């Protein structure tokens, strides 16, 4: 039962262009959402988060959008840089509990120079 789905296992984007990574969830109890970035042979690192009371959160080149009615969130990276090439995991939790984080399976982003 995949409550958090990242349907695109991979995405390639040209340097300088926008990268859009998508995530869908099924559990209506989820109210806090996070994106993690993972390089090979390293652990995931926290990137950006959003709570369900917002529909957008921005941090530098990274913006997360939340569409609660569609149970969909997306991560926009503008402009994309080769160093952004990594696996991006979407995660969600109910009541903002870090103990109940559910992760998606990740999207491999490749930014081409």
Partner 1 sequence: DTAVSQTPKYLVTQMGNDKSIKCEQNLGHDTMYWYKQDSKKFLKIMFSYNNKELIINETVPNRFSPKSPDKAHLNLHINSLELGDSAVYFCASSQGAGSGSPLHFGNGTRLTVT
In the bound complex, what is the minimum distance in angstroms from residue 27's beta carbon to partner 1? 15
CA distance 95 to 51: 9
Phi, psi (rounded to 5 degrees) for 98: -70, -15
Q: Which stretch binds partner 1 (CB under 8 A): 17-25, 68-76, 78-86, 98-106?
A: 98-106
Judged by beta carbon, residue 74 or residue 102, the one nearer partner 1 is 102
The binder of partner 1 chosen from 51, 59, 78, 81 (CB under 8 A): 51
Distance CA 56, CA 64 (A): 6
Residue environment code for 75-109, b if the CB has 16+ CB neighbours within 10 A, otherwise e? bbbeebeeebbbbbbbbbbeeeeeeebbebebbeb
From candidates 15, 65, 68, 103, binder to partner 1 by CB under 8 A = 103
Which 7-36 positions form the footprint of partner 1 (CB under 8 A)?
Answer: 32, 34, 36
The neighbour count for residue 38, using CB atoms within 10 Å, is 16
Among positions 2, 12, 26, 81, the unique one binding partner 1 when judged by CB under 8 A: 2
If the CB atoms of residues 2 and 12 are measured against partner 1, the closer one turns out to be 2
Residues that bind partner 1 (CB under 8 A): 2, 32, 34, 36, 41-46, 49, 51, 87, 89, 91, 93, 95-101, 103-106
């Amino acid at each position: 039962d995949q409550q958090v789905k990242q349907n695109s296992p991979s995405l390639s984007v040209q340097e300088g262009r926008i990268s859009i990574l998508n995530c869908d969830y099924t559990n209506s109890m989820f109210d806090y959402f996070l994106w993690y970035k993972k390089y090979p042979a390293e652990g995931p690192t926290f990137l950006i988060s959003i709570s369900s009371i917002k529909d957008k959160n921005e941090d530098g080149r990274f913006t997360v959008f939340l569409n609660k009615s569609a149970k969909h969130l997306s991560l926009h990276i503008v402009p994309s840089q080769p160093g952004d090439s990594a696996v991006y995991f979407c995660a969600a939790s109910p009541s903002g509990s870090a103990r109940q984080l559910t992760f998606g399976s990740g999207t491999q982003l490749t930014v081409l120079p």
